[in-house]
Amino acid sequence: MKMLVTGATGKLGSKVVETLLKTVPANQLAVSVRNPEKAEGLRARGVEVRQGDFDRTETLDTAFAGIDRLLIISADGDNETRIRQHTNAVAAAERAGVKFIAYTSLANAKESKNFLAPTHQATEKAILKTGIPYSFLRNNWYLENEISSIQGVLAEAPWVTSAGNGKVGWALQQDYAKAAAAVLSGNGHENTIYELSGKLLTHEELASALGTVLGKEVPVQQVDDATYADIMKGAGVPDFLIPMLVDIQKDIREGTLEIESNDFEKLLGRPGTPITEALTQIVNGISTK
């Protein structure tokens, strides 16, 4: 049985591989990465490192050859780029005769109006079309996405949001990684969809939990989207990122991540890490850098 993880040097991919290596022999594990030199550490530990570029289909044919179980970790970029790249990866998996595909998708992907949803809708559809047994790991939102806001609070700034009372199922990347590793290496996950989410919280509730961790009150500044964009610009966020950050706030406000689920328990045997414990880990990570 040979398993392969794409994007294995990325933030989520590297955590998935580390989790797998605790239970899976290294010689059963391969990784597909754009820059193999970045994965030399994995090669030294017995993991097979293959070069795979989602924009160069010939590399994917080689990368996926002889693979039984594949985890496609969604790529970065705009929707158009990601749809093209993911479609290439799925087609290569089908050509290679892969027997199972797990894919990191988005909360409620099929019905979602989230600005990121088109990528995941197209990829899920492409996977279904192959007829290959699948598992869609519909990840809600990484708590790590809020690191810049947490850093702001540590520097005495308020928590700024235009998301109103919209709720999010924040969870640590490590929890999402453990869930993905459980599906890739486990049995009985054929043709499944897992909505992976922490406890649903508003930005106000998240800021309050952060205040508990820090032992101080965290003021929350609720603003409109235009003001939010101005504040982000003033904080030094690159111009090209600002529309995306505003879209995230808008989509949260409109409830696109408000998906209740206990699927972490199905895969991890426990709920996602409690929010104060998760925030403590992130704060400690920031302060040790």
Q: Does 266 map to a domain?
A: no
203/81 same-domain check:
no
Count of domains forming the chain: 2
112/12 same-domain check:
yes
Structure confidence at residue 289 (pLDDT)? 66
Q: How far apart are the C-alpha atoms of 118 and 80, rounded to whole Å? A: 9
Dihedral sign computed on CA atoms, order 187, 188, 189, 190: positive
**What count of other Cβ atoms lies within 10 Å of the Cβ of residue 151?**
14
- Owning domain of residue 32: 3-139
Place of tokens 């499944």: 192
105/150 same-domain check:
no
Q: In what order do the strands lie in the sheet with 29-33?
A: 48-51, 29-33, 3-6, 69-72, 100-106, 134-139, 192-196
Domain containing residue 158: CATH number: 3.90.25.10
Last residue of a domain, one of 122, 139, 156: 139
Structure confidence at residue 288 (pLDDT)? 75
The answer to whether the beta carbons of residues 95 and 65 sit under 8 Å apart is no
111/220 same-domain check:
no
150/289 same-domain check:
yes
> pLDDT truncated to tens, each residue of the chain (289 aa)?
999 999 999 999 999 999 999 999 999 999 999 999 999 999 999 999 999 999 999 999 999 999 999 999 999 999 999 999 999 999 999 999 999 999 999 999 999 999 999 999 999 999 999 999 999 999 999 999 999 999 999 999 999 999 999 999 999 999 999 999 999 999 999 999 999 999 999 999 999 999 999 999 999 999 999 999 999 999 899 999 999 999 999 999 999 999 999 999 999 999 999 999 999 999 999 977 6
Q: Does 186 map to a domain?
A: no
The answer to whether the beta carbons of residues 271 and 262 sit under 8 Å apart is yes
112/37 same-domain check:
yes
**Pairing mode, strands 201-202 and 167-168:** antiparallel
The answer to whether the beta carbons of residues 17 and 82 sit under 8 Å apart is no
109/9 same-domain check:
yes
pTM of the model: 0.97
Structure confidence at residue 133 (pLDDT)? 98
Domain containing residue 102: CATH number: 3.40.50.720
134/146 same-domain check:
no
